[in-house]
């Protein structure tokens, strides 16, 4: 996919990865030529890869490279690993859980792996008994959507979570989730550090919206775009079937429009793509309603794709919030899909212009499907790199990818900002080229 966000270049100290101590235990992987080798702990991935010929070299900052290390901090045979999935559902969760278990068990020899149930709540004393994960239990879960471990939203007391980790004898923890999960993971690390506990916390970034900063891709996004495209294509068929037919599709995108933009480009049948990063108006001579009326007059049908996060700015409502503190864009006062449906219907009724509008919201269908081939491969790679990092004693980090190379990113950096689409960048330019839409402000 296009890399179109403009992350601010971090300072070198912001990229410094924490370790629990000196790694002295030889890895059981026994890597070497001709397949692959260990990654030297000094290997770095440059923030910038472009340079204009003739100009002075750009100042660089460097991500620590991910990958297997020759020496480990933990003795795999003597430790317990924990896995938890948090936040909303996302294609690929089961793939990540399965690959974590298989890498830990078969490659490193970790024999006790606990799967905490229903998010961070399952890591408190109110939580259900964790699952003892084995290769047999996870053998087929990658063929299913959802999460074997379940999920939940909301903050939990990091002190109680660390108490439970100590009681369960957990040495390495793999939280799988988005912004809220990674903030929680950092709080767990801080509490463990405060107590002087040697617990590695290594996150796997999960957000269907692809909006984690300093990471060029998160798992589930490509599956989401694939299924979203099917919804957009269905809306196009419905729009073509009637005079003045309009297909309106609401897609995920709490604060970023990556899914809406990518589905628009994949389908090539969208006439108006609305995303949180690009302001638009409904009314007025240059607003969406006027542009839609012109489109129907000229072509007799139209397809509109809107990201859910457009509701916050357009409707100017505070709205309800979920347990993680995120606005509920499906609530009555912020549901942009319902609002657009009703506004378009009213506009054309008042002008006595015939209209046949079909509204499609495939959000939960998209979240619940199994990962496609591309995401399945990516989930496996993320999980393996997370295991490599944790057993080497790396902590307070998330495994990411930058310029198609796997990296270690401190949790403090990855939770310090948000990744958004650049309205002046390549991706949005491609969308406007595909749709032909003009600014609607």
Q: Which residues are catalytic?
A: 209
Q: How many CB atoms lie within 10 A of CB 430?
A: 16
**What is the 3-state secondary structure of 336-377?**
HHHHHHHHHHHHHHHCCCCCEEEEECCHHHHHHCCCCHHHHH
The 3-state DSSP class for residue 117 equals: coil
DSSP string, 400-421: EEETTEEEEEEHHHHTSS----
122's tokens? 């399952």
Report DSSP state, residue 84: E
What angle, rounded to 10 degrees, do the helices at 258-267 and 426-435 form?
40
177's tokens? 């989730």
Taking the C-alpha atoms of residue 440 and residue 438, their distance in angstroms, rounded to an integer, is 6
Backbone angles phi, psi at 294, to 5 degrees: -65, -45
Torsion 232-234-240-244 (CA) sign = negative
Using an 8 Å Cβ cutoff, are 71 and 24 in contact? yes
319: CB partners within 8 A, 6+ apart? 311, 312, 327, 328, 329, 331, 333, 334
The 3-state DSSP composition of the chain as helix, strand, coil percent (nearest 5) reads: 35, 20, 45
The 3-state DSSP class for residue 25 equals: strand
- Of 307, 295, 308, 297, which is closest to residue 269 (Cα–Cα)? 295
Exposed, middle or buried by CB within 10 Å (0-12, 13-18, 19+), for 340?
buried
Alpha carbon of 256 to those of 79, 309, 408: distances in Å?
39, 7, 24
Return the bridge partners of 359, or none: 248
146: CB partners within 8 A, 6+ apart? 89, 93, 94, 368
């Amino acid at each position: 996919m296009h890399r179109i966000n403009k992350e601010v270049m971090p300072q070198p100290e912001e990229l410094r990865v924490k370790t629990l101590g000196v790694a002295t235990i030889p890895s059981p992987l026994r890597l070497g030529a001709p397949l692959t080798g260990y990654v030297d702990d000094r290997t770095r991935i440059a923030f910038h890869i472009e340079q204009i010929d003739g100009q002075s070299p750009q100042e660089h900052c460097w991500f620590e490279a991910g990958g297997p290390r020759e020496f480990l901090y933990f003795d795999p045979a003597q430790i317990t690993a924990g896995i938890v999935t948090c936040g909303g559902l996302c294609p690929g969760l089961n793939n990540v859980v399965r690959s974590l278990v298989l890498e830990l068990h078969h490659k490193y020899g970790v024999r006790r792996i606990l799967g905490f149930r229903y998010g961070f709540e399952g890591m408190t004393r109110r939580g259900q008994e964790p699952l003892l994960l084995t290769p047999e239990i996870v053998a087929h879960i990658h063929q299913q959507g959802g999460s074997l471990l379940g999920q939940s939203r909301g903050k939990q007391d990091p002190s109680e979570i660390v108490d439970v980790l100590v009681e369960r004898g957990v040495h390495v923890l793999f939280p799988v989730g988005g912004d809220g999960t990674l903030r929680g993971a950092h709080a767990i690390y801080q509490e463990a550090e405060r107590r002087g506990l040697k617990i590695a916390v290594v996150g796997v970034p999960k957000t269907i919206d692809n909006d984690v900063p300093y990471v060029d891709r998160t798992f589930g996004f490509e599956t989401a775009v694939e299924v979203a495209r099917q919804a957009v294509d269905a809306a196009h068929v419905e729009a073509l079937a009637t005079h003045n037919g309009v297909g309106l599709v609401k897609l995920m995108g709490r604060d970023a429009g990556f899914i809406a933009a990518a589905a628009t480009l994949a389908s090539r049948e969208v006439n108006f793509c609305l995303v949180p990063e690009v302001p638009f108006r409904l009314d007025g001579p240059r607003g969406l309603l006027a542009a839609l009326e012109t489109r129907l007059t000229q072509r007799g049908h139209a397809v509109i794709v809107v990201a859910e996060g457009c509701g916050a700015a357009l409707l100017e409502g505070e709205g309800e919030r979920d347990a993680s503190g995120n606005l509920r864009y499906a609530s009555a006062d912020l549901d942009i899909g319902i609002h657009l449906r009703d506004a378009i219907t009213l506009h054309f009724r008042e002008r006595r212009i015939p209209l046949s509008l079909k509204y499609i919201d495939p959000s939960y269908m998209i979240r619940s499907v199994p990962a496609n081939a591309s995401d399945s491969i990516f989930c496996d790679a993320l999980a393996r790199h997370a295991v490599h990092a944790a057993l080497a004693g790396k902590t307070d980090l998330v495994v990411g990818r930058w310029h198609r190379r796997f990296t270690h990113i401190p949790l403090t950096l990855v939770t310090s900002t948000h990744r958004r689409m650049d309205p002046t960048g390549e991706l949005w330019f491609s969308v406007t080229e595909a749709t032909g839409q003009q600014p609607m402000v």
